[in-house]
């Protein structure tokens, strides 16, 4: 029986992405409290696959996902999915906006609603939760007049009422999710490849040396980000997404060259590119 772990509890955007983008593909869906817990569960073999958020169009990279893949597991990205995210202010039935004394949500969600919170709920306490669904669950269990920033999917699951919908500050808010496992995805002709680059030493031209291997082969990079190595202040690694599959000669040649240049090149998978649906 195939199983997949997801960032829980039930009602998260991660579960919504799983059920809307890969409906019925996994017989057993298991929720975990954090992104790290999901990834480590797959690495241990507790579940076959895992799905976690990796990037949001407003707040950027989900650092826990990238860092855990870079340092703590040998997992590979096998698929990706992009979900358009709409956020709502939700509370127990009968709660008025003027009564709300606290708003609970995941930090990425509250950050995506900064303007709304400043304008409509100025001075209200903001409390962090591990996920938007956990926030909804906590609100459903609290006797106090508190609210959560969550999806309508989560509001229905926990019997909450939507006070105001679409409260995100920017239209086009999307989150990218990745399905990870221990296998390599086949070549499709419309793929992406993700790698982590650890340079030998911090010196002028180190990044240019990496980028030139892609530029000379006309490989389009769709993402490049530096992240601290967590060892020495000012020492970074580079997380890179590119178009193409590792079986494509330009990609394989570039990665081969980088293996000779870098202290370490960690391959995180080649997988089909997700289709992004544009709303009118």
DSSP 110-138: HHTTHHHHHHHSTT-EEEE-SSHHHHHHH
Residue that the structure tokens 């370490």 belong to: 264
Q: Are strands 3-7 and 28-32 parallel, antiparallel or unpaired?
A: parallel
Q: How far apart are CA 101 and CA 33, in angstroms?
A: 25
Distances (CA, A) of 166 to 74, 142, 149, 253: 38, 24, 10, 45
Q: Is the pLDDT of residue 150 over 90?
A: yes
All structural domains of the chain, each given as residue ranges with its CATH number in brackets, are 3-85+174-181 (3.40.190.10), 88-164 (3.40.190.10), 191-272 (3.30.70.260)
pLDDT single digits (tens) 182-230: 999 999 999 999 999 998 877 777 889 999 999 999 999 999 999 988 8
pLDDT band at 280 (very low <50, low <70, confident <90, very high): very low
Instruction: Summarize the confidence of residues 135-142 as an average pLDDT.
Output: 96
Structure tokens at 218: 């006309």
280 vs 55, which has greater pLDDT? 55
Residues 136/194, Cβ–Cβ less than 8 Å: no
Strand order in the sheet with 264-272: 221-228, 236-243, 191-198, 264-272
Query: What sign for the dihedral angle of Cα 265, 83, 64, 15?
Result: negative
Q: Is 167 exposed, middle or buried (0-12, 13-18, 19+ CB in 10 A)?
A: buried
Distance, C-alpha 276 to centroid of its chain: 15
Output DSSP code: residue 168: -
Distance, C-alpha 38 to centroid of its chain: 12
pLDDT band at 1 (very low <50, low <70, confident <90, very high): low
What region, left, alpha or beta, does residue 46 occupy, with left being phi > 0 and alpha being psi -120 to 50 degrees?
alpha
The neighbour count for residue 149, using CB atoms within 10 Å, is 28
The neighbour count for residue 258, using CB atoms within 10 Å, is 18
Q: How far apart are CA 269 and CA 181, in angstroms?
A: 10
pLDDT of residue 200: 82
Coil, helix or strand at residue 247: coil
């Amino acid at each position: 029986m195939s199983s997949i772990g997801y960032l829980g509890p039930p009602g998260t955007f991660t579960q919504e992405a799983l059920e809307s983008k890969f409906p019925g593909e996994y017989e057993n869906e298991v929720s975990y409290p954090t992104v790290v817990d999901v990834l480590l569960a797959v690495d241990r073999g507790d579940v076959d696959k895992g799905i976690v958020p990796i990037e949001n169009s407003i707040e950027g990279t989900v650092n826990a996902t990238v860092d855990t893949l870079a340092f703590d597991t040998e997992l590979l990205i096998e698929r990706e999915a992009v979900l358009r995210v709409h956020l709502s202010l939700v509370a127990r039935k009968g709660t008025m906006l003027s009564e709300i004394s606290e708003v609970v949500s995941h930090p990425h969600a509250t950050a995506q609603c900064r303007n709304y919170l400043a304008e409509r709920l100025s001075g209200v306490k903001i409390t962090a939760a591990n996920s938007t669904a956990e926030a909804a669950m906590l609100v459903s269990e609290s006797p106090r007049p508190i609210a959560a920033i969550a999806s309508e999917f989560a509001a229905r699951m926990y019997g909450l009422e939507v006070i105001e919908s679409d409260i995100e500050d920017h239209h086009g808010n999307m989150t990218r999710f990745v399905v990870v496992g221990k296998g390599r995805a086949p070549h499709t002709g419309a793929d992406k490849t993700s790698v982590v680059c650890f340079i030998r030493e911090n010196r002028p031209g180190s990044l240019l040396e990496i980028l030139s291997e892609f530029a000379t082969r006309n490989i389009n990079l769709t993402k490049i980000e530096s992240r601290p190595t967590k060892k020495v202040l000012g020492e970074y690694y580079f997380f890179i997404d590119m178009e193409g599959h590792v079986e494509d000669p330009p990609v394989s040649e570039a990665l081969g060259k980088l293996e000779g240049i870098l202290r370490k090149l960690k391959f995180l998978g080649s997988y089909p590119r997700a289709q992004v649906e544009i709303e009118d």
